[in-house]
């Protein structure tokens, strides 16, 4: 299949999955009313945890089996164009810089949000009855302050808790968007169909789970569907936007374009590294429940993507 066609089809699919990932939880959880903090979240905690570990394995393979070889290849091309002979690990260095940049972005968000980070941590799906200002409130990431949906017309002013919930939701949107753009750039820069196909699957799994976490937070904030759509659309467009930037850089057949491609792919690889080792795995493996089963799903996710890299699309 043509690489450009595969990119277009894959990006449309990822966009649709992310949009549905936000809006479906909003629809389902808002319908349940007061039960938004109880039964629906706890009912799906186990399968979501296994899916999260599977996604961690997918991202692990995406980073080391797809992106890192691509960054090494691009680094060799750039050094060759400059007629530089060096054994310095350029690809690995750029990837680590991307990792550090991801940590920096997270810490900047946390400076304003003042809560524990986790892009798809299952605490988002396992609501609890925490009191405002308590430690447990800050241990449940991405959860805006709950309030029951209003019935009929009502006029009210924003309370401090409403504003805090809105800021937490905004922090989630900004952090998720920043990571999505870099993942989209990595997709747009791919020239090999096999690597692109494996990366598309990895991004689809992770972003759908992240979008579902955002959807739960939106539902907890009791936003109506129209307002939820205003949140979902920009977030869902970040990966296609990043991919557009990647395609533009890829089509710039010059030394500057090669350097930009090297830097962007390396930074994106660092983002995948960050999401895998600081977001997905710590939150899942620190729980004793289903530990071995989660490791199995981690292995399955890695094995699937590692095998897909070998397929000629």
DSSP string, 37-70: GSHHHHHTHHHHHHHHHHHHHHHHHIIIIIIHHH
pLDDT at 139: 37
Residues 216, 107: Cα–Cα separation, whole Å: 23
CA angle 98, 101, 102 (to 5 degrees): 90
Is the predicted pLDDT of residue 207 greater than 90, yes or no? no
Neighbouring C-alpha atoms within 13 Å toward the C-beta of 13: 13
Dihedral sign from CA coordinates of 51, 53, 59, 62: negative
In this prediction, residues 141-145 reach a mean pLDDT of 37
In this prediction, residues 208-219 reach a mean pLDDT of 80
| Confidence label for 241 from pLDDT (cuts 50, 70 and 90) | very high
Residues 193, 175: Cα–Cα separation, whole Å: 29
Is the predicted pLDDT of residue 133 greater than 70, yes or no? no
167-191 pLDDT, tens digit each: 566 766 776 787 788 888 888 888 8
Burial of 238 (0-12, 13-18, 19+ CB in 10 A): buried
pLDDT at 51: 78
Is the predicted pLDDT of residue 154 greater than 80, yes or no? no
Longest Cα–Cα distance in the chain: 71
Does pTM surpass 0.75? no
Q: Do the beta carbons of residue 187 and residue 10 sit within 8 Å?
A: yes
85-99 pLDDT, tens digit each: 888 999 999 999 989
pLDDT at 95: 92
Which residues neighbour 56 within 8 Å (Cβ) at sequence distance 6 or greater?
Answer: 276, 280, 281, 284, 298, 301
Burial of 92 (0-12, 13-18, 19+ CB in 10 A): middle
pLDDT at 42: 59
In this prediction, residues 57-71 reach a mean pLDDT of 84
Q: Which two three-digit tokens encode residue 37?
A: 């903090």
Q: Do the beta carbons of residue 123 and residue 42 sit within 8 Å?
A: no
In this prediction, residues 80-89 reach a mean pLDDT of 90
| Confidence label for 62 from pLDDT (cuts 50, 70 and 90) | confident
pLDDT at 30: 63
Residues 220, 222: Cα–Cα separation, whole Å: 5
In this prediction, residues 117-139 reach a mean pLDDT of 42
Residues 17, 197: Cα–Cα separation, whole Å: 16
Is the predicted pLDDT of residue 296 greater than 90, yes or no? yes
Which residues neighbour 35 within 8 Å (Cβ) at sequence distance 6 or greater?
Answer: none
Residues 180, 174: Cα–Cα separation, whole Å: 10
Query: Residue 313 belongs to what H/E stretch?
Result: none
């Amino acid at each position: 299949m043509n690489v450009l066609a595969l990119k277009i089809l894959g990006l449309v699919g990822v966009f649709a999955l992310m949009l549905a990932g936000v809006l479906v939880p909003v629809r389902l959880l808002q319908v349940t009313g007061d039960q938004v903090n109880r039964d629906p979240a706890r009912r799906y905690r186990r399968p979501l945890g296994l899916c999260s570990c599977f996604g961690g394995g997918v991202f692990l393979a995406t980073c080391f089996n797809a992106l890192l070889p691509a960054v090494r290849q691009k680094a060799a091309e750039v050094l060759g164009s400059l007629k530089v002979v060096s054994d310095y690990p350029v690809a690995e260095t750029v990837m680590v810089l991307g990792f550090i940049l991801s940590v920096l972005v997270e810490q900047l968000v946390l400076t304003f949000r003042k809560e524990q980070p986790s892009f798809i941590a299952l605490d988002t799906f396992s609501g609890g009855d925490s009191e405002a200002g308590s430690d447990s409130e800050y241990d449940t990431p991405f959860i805006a302050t709950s309030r029951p949906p209003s019935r009929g017309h009502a006029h009210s002013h924003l309370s401090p808790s409403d504003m805090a919930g809105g800021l937490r939701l905004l922090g989630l949107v900004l952090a998720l968007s920043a990571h999505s753009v870099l993942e989209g750039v990595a997709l747009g820069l791919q020239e090999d169909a096999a690597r692109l196909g494996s990366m598309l699957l990895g991004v689809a799994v992770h972003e759908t789970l992240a979008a579902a976490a955002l959807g739960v937070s939106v539902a907890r904030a009791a936003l109506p569907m129209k307002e939820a759509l205003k949140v979902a659309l920009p977030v869902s467009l970040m990966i296609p936007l990043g991919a557009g930037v990647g395609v533009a850089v890829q089509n710039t057949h010059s030394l500057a374009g090669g350097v930009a491609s090297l830097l962007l792919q390396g930074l994106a690889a660092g983002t995948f590294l960050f999401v895998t080792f600081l977001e997905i795995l710590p939150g899942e493996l620190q729980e004793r429940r289903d530990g071995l089963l989660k490791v199995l799903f981690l292995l399955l996710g890695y094995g699937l993507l590692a095998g897909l890299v070998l397929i000629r699309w």
